[in-house]
Structure 1
Amino acid sequence: MDVPPRLWDVKNGRATGKSVEAMQINLAVDKIRVEVNRRYQELMQSDGYVTAAKLRDAYLGIGVKQETLLKLFEQHNVEYRKKVGFSREIATWKKYCCVCKRVREFLAHTYHREDIPLKELNLTFINDFEYFLRTEKKCRTNTVWGYMIVLKHIVAIARNDGRLPFNPFSGYINSPESVDRGYLSQEEIKAVMNYKTANKAHARIRDLFVFSIFTGLAYADVKGLTTDNLQTMFDGNLWIITRRKKTNTESRIRLLDIPKRIIEKYADQRLDNHVFYMPCNCHCNDILREIGKQCGIKNKLTFHLARHTFATTITLSQGMPIETVSRLLGHTNIKTTQIYAKITNEKISRDMSALTERLGDKYRLAE
């Protein structure tokens, strides 16, 4: 910017007079002062000190590399994909990609930008993203909560390696809602087991669902089940000894007759040491929903519903202690088991009948 010497006030650092030229010069000076101050604050936050040379370079953009959110997100996803099949799951990678896509859509919609520097992230950005998810994407509370956990993980990467000196999530509050996933009653279990179809693929999915109902194994654990996991134990019975795919916690399950018969039914169809051939979870759930409709079941059938049914109808409602149910499910905390296992009205009635018998006529009310 060129300033005529006759207009410049050295003492005040501004142009003198009220001419149009002087006013334009002072406006430009004010903008420079604001930008220099912003760069100064950024350097203090990131480095803790400022020199004249550093401030000059920052203002001029010399040697300044802007770390951006989406670039970091995409780098993370590329590295994560390389680990899939070894120490990471494809489903988790897909979730990271989905959240990255939502952040990109949010930036375009709300900020009209293709990316954003990490150092511009703040609580307002976080709250704006949540608002976008709820209003534009119609996401429910638990979906928003899951997305925020992913974004918080990406932000934590930047914080841990020094690229982000502050926590934009500081002050942000969000909690998941408690969701009753439901379970199948005894009558509904029987309806599924009695469901007949000429389609062998659909019959297989029905059988695998029933297998999960009577073992409590999640989809990933049934899919990963191998013949090595089937062991005859000290009591002479066949057990499943495995580690849960999700948490790597050990699960020991003595097999009931129904799951044993299902294992035997498909023994000659094994392609390798896996006990069952499992279609993808999405396909299984599509077929299960159709089976549920034909059986007149109000609950939407999903493979994971079987695990809740095992905890509630098959075990806890039959008098099995919740501590044992917890071990069968591979939980490390009984509070987690309580999310799965519900007390049914039938169990309450049986327990009250037993209590009535135990009390007998021990207590009498005076007439």
Structure 2
Amino acid sequence: MANQEFAPATVTRYETTLKHTQDFMQWKYKINDIRVKQIDHQFISEFEFYLRTVRKCNNNSALKYIKNFGKIVRICLASGWIIVNPFLNYKIKIKKIDRPFLSKEELETMASKTFVSARLEQVRDIFLFSCYTGLAYIDVQKLKRSEIVKGFDGEQWVFTNRQKTDTPSRIPLLPYALGVIEKYRNHPQCEVEDKLLPILSNQKMNSYCAPVKVA
């Protein structure tokens, strides 16, 4: 189903939601499955409690899993498997997150940082490539070499479609981004998979980024 109807990351989110739901039912009810008609407001509220306390998810992560679960419930409603929506009186409150931007000085400090691990250096390079192009992780992950073309100004540009919105993007490549592309031009993963850059999974990227200090 991935790469046809849904992106791989979307499939992974739903697989993770399923795993959390199964673990919750085992934790709360000591069962591995439940009839759709038995899902009610209390089930959803206790599932949210489980995500927040046992799984230690933050507010937005917990509610994203609940929203994914809710999409499955809506499919059940549309299919006539249930006639009452258990989410009818359930409120989802996503907290707005203020995401600070990195300054030019911070980007330069990160770029000049020397790492003892080649893997950390690779993660740093990919992260900064995203910063200098404005492309999200999923967009960088799927970039192919053929999507780097010469623009109207004679310089190198990224011509691609955004994964989330399927809208075309035309992005001029700044010197640092060009340097990253050149650095990994002959990387085995890029040659075998016809990818522009050697991208790790999103989870691995996040886990490597978390402990990195650039001071």
* Alignment partner of 1:220 out of 117, 134, 138: 138
Aligned equivalents of 1:102, 1:268: Cα separation in 2: 40
Task: List per-residue Cα deviations over 1:226-262 (Å, max 9, x = no partner).
Answer: 1221121222222111012233222111122221232
The residue that corresponds to 2:196 in the other structure is: 275
Match of 1:287 in 2: 208
Cα offset for 1:118? Answer: 2.0
SS of the residue 1:177 aligns to: coil
Q: How far did residue 198 of structure 1 move?
A: 5.6
For 1:130 and 1:282, the matched residues in 2 are separated by: 22
Match of 1:142 among 54, 60, 67: 60
Label 1:282 to 1:132 Cα distance change in 2 as closer, same or farther (>3 A): closer
Identity of aligned residues (%): 32
Q: Work out the CA distance in 2 between the residues paired with 1:124 and 1:284.
A: 36
- For residues 279 and 114 of structure 1, the distance between their equivalents in structure 2, rounded to whole angstroms, comes to 33
Of 145-154 and 201-210, more deviation after overlay is shown by: 201-210
Aligned to 1:262: 180
Give the 5 Å matches for 1:91-106. Answer: 91-106=9-24
Q: Which has the higher helix share?
A: 1
DSSP-derived class of the 2:23 partner: helix
* Alignment partner of 1:244 out of 162, 173, 193: 162
Higher deviation after alignment, 133-142 or 154-163? 133-142
Moved more, 96-105 or 145-154: 96-105
Q: Please list the CA deviations of residues 270-290 of structure 1 after superposition, one character each: whole Å capped at 9, or x if unmatched.
A: 415322222333333343344
SS in 2 for 1:271: helix
SS of corresponding position for 1:152: helix
2-structure distance, mates of 1:120, 1:203: 50
Q: Could you tell me how far apart the structure 1 residues matched to 2:61 and 2:100 are?
A: 19
Amino acid of the structure 2 residue aligned with 1:203: E
How far apart are 1:143 and its partner, in Å? 1.8
What amino acid is aligned across from residue 135 of structure 1 in structure 2? T
List per-residue Cα deviations over 1:38-75 (Å, max 9, x = no partner).
xxxxxxxxxxxxxxxxxxxxxxxxxxxxxxxxxxxxxx
TM-score (norm 2): 0.85
Rounded to whole Å, the distance in 1 between the matches of 2:30 and 2:210 is 41
Residue type of the alignment partner of 1:176: I
Distance (whole Å) between structure 1 residues aligned to residue 33 and residue 124 of structure 2: 47
Structure with bigger gyration radius:
1
Q: Which amino acid aligns with 1:172?
A: Y
Task: Tell which has more relative contact order, 1 or 2 (C-alpha 8 A, sep 6+).
Answer: 2
Q: 1:234 to 1:142 in 2, by over 3 A?
A: same
Determine helix, strand or coil for the equivalent of 2:159: strand
Answer yes or no: is 1:187 the counterpart of 2:108: no
CA RMSD after TM alignment: 2.3
Counterpart residue type for residue 271 of structure 1 = E
1:113-148: CA deviation from partner (whole Å, max 9, x where unpaired): 443322222223222322333333333211221111
Count residues in correspondence: 212
Pairing 1:167–2:88 present: no
Unaligned runs of 5+ in 2: none
Counterparts of 2:90 and 2:140 in 1: how far apart (Å)?
Answer: 38
